[in-house]
């Protein structure tokens, strides 16, 4: 049977690992948002330019 101190250490380690995993998922999500958001912005700008050039 583990001592109370050892149980606290295990619980703290598990909590730290969960927080690190959450932060890693969040960073990956924001990276995808930046990547595809940039592409979407380029498409919108291209459409606006195309519309302005063809409407005259």
* Band (2; pLDDT cuts 50, 70, 90): confident
Q: Which of 2, 21, 22 is closest to 10 using CA atoms?
A: 2
pTM above 0.85, yes or no: no
Mean pLDDT of all residues in 6-34: 96
User: Which band of pLDDT confidence, cut at 50, 70 and 90, is reported for residue 15?
Assistant: very high
What pLDDT, on the 0 to 100 scale, is given for residue 56?
A: 62
Compute CA distances 2 → 8, 11, 12, whole Å.
Answer: 10, 12, 15
Task: Look up residue 15 and give its two tokens.
Answer: 């909590």
List the alpha helices (DSSP H) in the chain: 4-54
């Amino acid at each position: 049977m583990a001592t109370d101190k050892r149980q606290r250490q295990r619980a703290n380690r598990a909590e730290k690992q969960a927080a690190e995993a959450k932060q890693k998922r969040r960073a990956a999500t924001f990276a995808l948002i930046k990547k595809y958001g940039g592409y979407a912005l380029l498409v919108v700008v291209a459409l606006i330019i195309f519309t302005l050039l063809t409407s005259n």
